[in-house]
Amino acid sequence: MKRIVLMAIATILSVSIYAQDISGKWNGVLKVEGTDLGLSINITKTGDDLSASMDVPKQGAKGIPVSFIIYENSILKFEISDADIKYEATLDEENTFFGTFKQGGQSIPLSLTKEEVEKDNVPRPLEIDVSFAKIRGNDTDDEKTLESIVKVRDISEQYATGGLYLMTHYGNLDGPNLALL
């Protein structure tokens, strides 16, 4: 009995996906040679026919015509013949296409969703504001002053012991006095 119920649910889901209208804007991020390239596919349905175009905002490309597109049994296929691009993906229950983007012999995984993808997809690291002690003390007679030295962090022994230091200098320094070194 339990198996019958599960089969019934699966059948309903399948019909639901199959019947879904996929027209609209689908967004994804193509990871190419270490960089993230956001793109959008704009799909239009006219009667039973689909047409589409692609935008790649970072490359200033908008409305690149898709030369072939078909959506059957939850599988989307499209091609942009001028750019030697082919894409094939399957729509899942959460309304995301999972598939492969092919261009010039390269195959890259690409998911498309209707959610807007943020322009900048490079994860933001922790940013730490550091500042120099820019309060000038009394000048020494020869105008050479090292006003402050602040250790920001130790450096791992994996490389070399030492640290990262911020220093503030004022006045007209003489430059390297090689005899000093």
Q: Using the rule CB under 8 A, is 35 a contact of another protein? A: yes
How many residues make contact with another protein (CB under 8 A)?
Answer: 51
Q: How far apart are CA 31 and CA 122, in angstroms?
A: 10
User: Does the protein bind another protein through residue 68 (CB under 8 A)?
Assistant: no
Is 176 a residue that touches another protein (CB under 8 A)? yes
Q: Is 168 in the site for another protein (CB under 8 A)?
A: yes
According to the binding rule CB under 8 A, does residue 167 interact with another protein? yes
- For residues 27 and 116, the answer to whether their CB atoms sit within 8 Å is yes
CB-facing half-sphere around the CA of 60: CA atoms within 13 A = 0
138 touching another protein, by CB under 8 A: no
Give Cβ neighbours of residue 104 (< 8 Å, ≥ 6 apart): 84
Q: Which helix (H) or strand (E) holds 156?
A: none
Residues that bind another protein (CB under 8 A): 32-35, 37, 58-60, 120, 122, 124-132, 134, 143-144, 146, 149-153, 155-156, 158-173, 175-177, 180-181
